[in-house]
Amino acid sequence: MKRIFTLCITLCTLLSGFAQKDTTAKQTPDTIKIGGMVIIREPGTRFDSTKRKDKIFRVNSRRGDQPANVSTNWWIFDIGFSNYVDNTNYATAVSSGFVTQGIDEDNLKARAGKSRNVNIWFLMQRLNIIKHVVNLKYGLGLELNNYHFEDKNLKFNKNPTKIDQTYTDLGKNKLAADYITMPIMLNFNFTPDNRKNFGFSAGVSAGWLYSARQKIKKDGKVDKTKSDFDLSSWKLSYVGEISLGPVKLYGSYAFESMFEKGLDLTPYNVGFRFSAW
């Protein structure tokens, strides 16, 4: 009888221990998801003076979340170089009176390294098409082009436009052409779960000429002549970009000459893009 009583007490003690372990095992931490974070509240191992358990908080990053189907990138900046391909028939340009005798492609050659392009994009949006790998990308911004010429003596007269060699001893001579431009591209993003994207985009852009001027500098004084100089009101271009993680490159090449008549100069731009994606 004593042996049976002792065995019952032992079994009750063991079952009580297992029951306590099972209760502890069933305790699960509370989880709260906020934006890109996961906050986990779980029972601690410390006790305060009132014998109540402390709570331990852990904050983890949420991984594996899909990017938004429509994402917006504000204030993107491009810095690069402007140039053009010259296919002008100068004999025709001279006979039409658009340029004076003696001016040819050597005079109108853009100075490499001095002719610059700066773009300021108010926004770019990316619309998911196929699993965030194929996207539609579009935006709106300002495209600013400054063309410096090898011949600093060139003068752009207006009403009617005529280019001659009136100036002498200029410190600066450039033609500025600024556009409000909207690009639209097909974007291929090979790393959709990574903020540092690897991929490329290709498409077209439409730009409207809102400002054009010739700016000269002589003896420290700056003079500007504002006119469209028979530049085309619209510029349609092929556009593209390459994303190599933190390094992003862009380029554009116009469909046709930036002048409506007289000169056949097809502009293009290349440079670096400073953008979040």
Of the ranges 35-49, 67-81, 119-133, which one carries the lowest mean pLDDT score?
A: 35-49
Report the pLDDT value the prediction gives residue 23, as an integer from 0 to 100: 47
Given a contact cutoff of 8 angstroms between Cβ atoms, the answer to whether 272 and 245 are in contact is no
Report the pLDDT value the prediction gives residue 196, as an integer from 0 to 100: 82
The string of pLDDT tens digits covering residues 16-46 is 554 454 444 555 666 665 545 556 666 555 5
Top-confidence residue, 188 or 65: 188
Given a contact cutoff of 8 angstroms between Cβ atoms, the answer to whether 167 and 154 are in contact is yes
Given a contact cutoff of 8 angstroms between Cβ atoms, the answer to whether 53 and 250 are in contact is no
Q: What is the mean pLDDT of residues 166-180?
A: 92
DSSP secondary structure code for residue 133 in this structure: T
Report the pLDDT value the prediction gives residue 276, as an integer from 0 to 100: 87
64: alpha, beta or left? (left if phi > 0; alpha if psi -120 to 50): left
The string of pLDDT tens digits covering residues 223-244 is 999 999 999 999 999 999 999 9
Per-residue pLDDT at 109 exceeds 80: yes
Report the pLDDT value the prediction gives residue 249, as an integer from 0 to 100: 98
Report the pLDDT value the prediction gives residue 277, as an integer from 0 to 100: 83
Residue type, 59: V
pLDDT band per the 50, 70, 90 thresholds, residue 220 = confident
Report the pLDDT value the prediction gives residue 213, as an integer from 0 to 100: 97
The string of pLDDT tens digits covering residues 201-210 is 999 999 999 9
